[in-house]
Each structure stands twice: as C-alpha cells, then as structure tokens.
Structure 1
Amino acid sequence: MKSAAIDPYAALQKLQGGERSRLTDAVAEALREAIVTLALEPGMMIDKQAVCERMGVSRFPVSAALAKLATAGLVEVLPQRGTRVKPIVIHDIRQHLFIRSALEVETVRGLSSTRSDATLEALAANLDKQREAVAKGLPHEFHPLDLAFHEILLDAIDLPRVKEIVATSRGALDRARQLLGTPERHIHTLEEHVRIFEAIAERDAEAAAHAMHRHLDEVIAELRRFASERPDLFEE
C-alpha cells in the first residue's frame, strides 16, 4: 500500500474549461480511476475542496461526479460527515465472482469439445506473454494479459451477451484486483491459467471446469486473507 505521506490527489490532472456536463464526466472518470487504482483508499473521506483545487473546477462538477460514483457503488455519503470512498464489500465481491464462475466455468466446459486450433494458438501465445511478464516482474503488463486470456475464451464461444455480463462483473472487481496484484499472485494466476489451457487442449471438459472454478475461488480466498490484515479497507 502507498505511504500516508503521498498526496492521494496527486494523480488528478487540471482540466480545461468546457461544458458543465463534460466537466462532470471528466471529474467522475478521474476520481473513478483514482479509486480503482487505490490512490484514494477504501474508507477515505474525500476532500471536495482539494479535488476542486487540483482539477481547477468549481464544486458543482465535483459534487455531480461524486453523485455518479455513488450510484456506481464506489463512494457513499455519510450524513453530517461528507463523502467517503466506499469500503470493499466482501459480500458484493462474492456475488460478482459467483456470476463469473457460473458463466466462465460453463464457457470452458463447452469450449473443451468445440475449441479450434486458432483458439489454442491464441491462448498459447497469450500464456507465453504472461510468462515473460512474470519473469521480468512487469505487473502492469501482466494485468491486461490476464484479462485477454479470459476474453479469448469468451470470444471462442461467440455469445456476446455472456461476455457483456462477465465484463460487468469483472469491472466491479477492479479494486480487489489491485489489492491482489502481487508478484506471488501473478505466478499463481499463470499456473492456474496453464491448467485451464491444458485441460481445454486435452478436451477434458470436467478438468477445465474444475480448473476455472478453482482459479476464481482463489480470488475470494486471498481477499479474505488480505481483509484479515487490513480490515479498515473492507466491510462484510
């Protein structure tokens, strides 16, 4: 986690003048990025004036942006106290992982009997890049490769609505993913991806389903371990 001495608003950039609605969207996107990347930590009270000064905007777009983020479940208004970054809710994480597990387990189960050589080649190439990112200690390169691995699987079954639902649930896990983005977790993720790939390559539907299930279960298990160390960032 970052040092308390670091300005949590440092990543916010000053905006140029523009229409009120566009300013609101720009402020909301900047604050969302700061929240998702944990520059603004779960449980932290948001200093509206600091945001205004940093981004060069009035209080209106900041207040409107925070209202949008509240609807998205990233911040919450505490009566007579102000607005804070919403703690990561373990129960919400479990629900989104349940959705992902239900859909992605069935994805690999079905794909094991229908996969094409092109899909296997795409997965193998992706895994090679994952290995390189892990070997070189490049976490910022590993994350998009992790996402791409799952997208290759979802694209292969050609069910756009399923992919859309998975993407929505995956987006809700962004903050949790940042907390677990350690070199050790990346090594384990790579190993889990390899097991999924090997089962699909061998047309072993049950092994593929089991490997995907274990892969997603590990996320909630590691989050619970992390929550025991930093309970201030979480709510049950």
Structure 2
Amino acid sequence: MTRDLKLQALTQERSPSVTDVVYEKLYNSIVSLDMPPGTKLSEADVASKLEVSRQPVRDAFYRLSQQGFLLIRPQRATVVTKISTAAVLKARFIRTALELETICTAMKQATAEDIQALEDNIDGQQRAIENEKRDEFHELDDALHAKICAIAGHPEVWTLIKDNKAHMDRVRYLSLNNEGSQIAHDEHAEILKAFKSKNKHNVIELMRAHLNRIADSIHTIRAAHIEFFEEEDREN
C-alpha cells in the first residue's frame, strides 16, 4: 500500500473526536428544532450535560457559529440564531445546482441494485409517514439524496450539500407534518420513475421543482412561525 493510500485509510478509520461528537449532538438538536431559535446555551451547562470538558464544547460552539446557527456573545449566554430567509434561499440555490448535476450522472450509472435500494427507501418513507415518525422520514429523505450522490460516484458531494442545506432543514422540520411528508414522498416517487426511464428532461424538472418547493412555501411557514425567524425586509 502506498503512503497516500495508508494515510487515506487512517483518515477514513479515524474515530470522531470529542468535539465532533459534541458538534453533532448540538447540530442535530438545532436543526431538528429540539433547541429552537432563541434557546440560550452555556459552555459549562453543555459540558456538564455531555460529561466532557469545556474545550470541545467551545470548539463546537465556534463551528456552529461559523455556520450561522449560534450567536456567541462574550460574557453573555450563547443563543441559537433565528432562521434567516435569505440564508435558506441561498442554501436552496447551492443545493439545486449540485443535485441536478449529480442526478443526471447517477441516472447514467445506476445498476439494478441501485434502483432497488432507491425503491426500498421510498417504501420506507411511506411506512414512516403512516407511523407518524417524522424523524425517521427525515433520515430516509436525506438517505435517498445521499444515495443518488453515491450512485453518481461522488459521495463527497452529499457532504457539501449537507453543509449548505442545514438552514433549509430547520424550515423543513416546521413543514414536515404528515401532509408535507406525503407531498415529499410522492415527489420522490415521481423523480424515481423518471430516473428509471432515463428521461433526463423530466428528472431535471421534477428535481428542480422538488427542491424549489421550499422557496414557494417559506413565506407561509414564516407567517405561521414568525417567532422563529429573523426580522427581515418585507420583500424577503
């Protein structure tokens, strides 16, 4: 094995650091709205609750602040930021650009096993809806899009998408009642149908409409949950 391959293998096998674990716990709580906008946090409290030292908590706070999820205020409590409509729409633009290219590549390379995996995922989504398991549906939704990136031969693209779409996810959690989940499921099924028929035009149009739905609904969602959103210009 060459030196580069050995380094790559070591990197892939590296266990998450304490900071990584703290970051993931906080990130998931913020995105899922378990810690809604306005929630106050302190390094000491989080460190005590997670039974870690304050340094990894401080590092995780910094990473989340760089992503726009925490407002760190010296000598005052750190606060979960409110949702920015502008940040959501920017994330939607970036995600759409990446996913349209990815799905077109995946469509050319998908095997029968890949298609079956996508179908199984969509079946699982329907079961999650019927059982009113919102978190499970959310995980399967992400897994479907991640699988398409993997089929395209670019699983790293999902990391880029995930980093950019987190602002979208907070809005998505506000909209993922059974009706919203069913709409998303049905759109996934239509996308897969076009994907299987290798109809590039339909795949692009369906995926674009699927990802753009948040732009059409964000103003309604904001009106219903105004306390979670930043004060922004009327045109936003």
TM-score normalised by the chain length of structure 1: 0.76
- Please say if 1:208 is aligned against 2:236: no
Q: Which runs of 5+ in 2 are unaligned?
A: 1-16
Residue type of the partner of 1:221?
A: D
Rounded Cα–Cα distance in structure 2 between residues aligned with 1:154 and 1:65: 27
* Residue 230 to residue 172, structure 1, CA distance change in 2 (3 Å): closer
Kept in 2, the 8 Å contact 1:109–1:206? The answer is no
Matches of 1:115 and 1:26, distance apart in 2: 34
Task: Tell me which of 162, 171, 184 is aligned to 1:167.
Answer: 162
C-alpha separation in 1, matches of 2:162 and 2:216: 21
Q: Percent identity?
A: 29
Specify the alignment match of 2:9 in structure 1.
Answer: none
Say whether residues 1:66 and 2:61 are aligned partners: yes
Letter of the 2:168 counterpart: L
- Equivalent in the alignment of 1:194: 189
- Aligned residue for 1:88, secondary structure, equals coil
Candidates 84, 108, 126, aligned match of 1:89:
84
Question: Quick one: which of 172, 175, 180 aligns to 1:185?
Answer: 180
SS of residue paired to 2:72: strand
Aligned to 2:228: 233
- Which residue is equivalent to 1:116? 111
* 1:135–1:28 distance in 2 versus 1, CA, 3 Å: closer
CA positional deviation for 1:187: 0.1
Aligned match of 2:38: 43
Length, aligned pairs only: 215
Most deviating of 97-106 and 79-88: 79-88
Can you list the C-alpha shifts for 1:60-111, whole angstroms capped at 9, x where unaligned?
7655553343233211135775421111111111111111111212223344
Q: Is the 8 A contact 2:31 2:166 kept in 1?
A: no
Moved more, 131-140 or 211-220: 131-140
- Specify whether residues 32 and 132 from structure 1 end up closer, same or farther in structure 2 by C-alpha distance, changes over 3 A only: closer
Partner residue in 2 for 1:142:
137
2: CA distance, partners of 1:96 / 1:114: 27
Distance 2:71 2:211 in 1: 28
Q: Contact 2:134/2:176 (CA < 8 Å) preserved in 1?
A: yes
Matching of residue 151 in structure 1 with residue 146 in structure 2: yes
CA contact (8 A) 2:36 2:80 kept: yes
TM-score of the aligned structures, taking structure 2 as reference length:
0.76
The answer to whether the Cα contact below 8 Å between 2:107 and 2:152 also exists between their aligned partners in 1 is: no
Does residue 77 in structure 1 map to residue 72 in structure 2? yes
Rounded Cα–Cα distance in structure 1 between residues aligned with 2:190 and 2:172: 21
Q: Is the 8 A contact 1:42 1:85 kept in 2?
A: yes
Kindly provide the amino acid, as one letter, of the partner of residue 30 in structure 2.
I
Could you tell me whether the CA contact under 8 Å between 1:180 and 1:223 is conserved in 2? Answer: no
| Matches of 2:147 and 2:57, distance apart in 1 | 38
Letter aligned with residue 201 of structure 1 = K
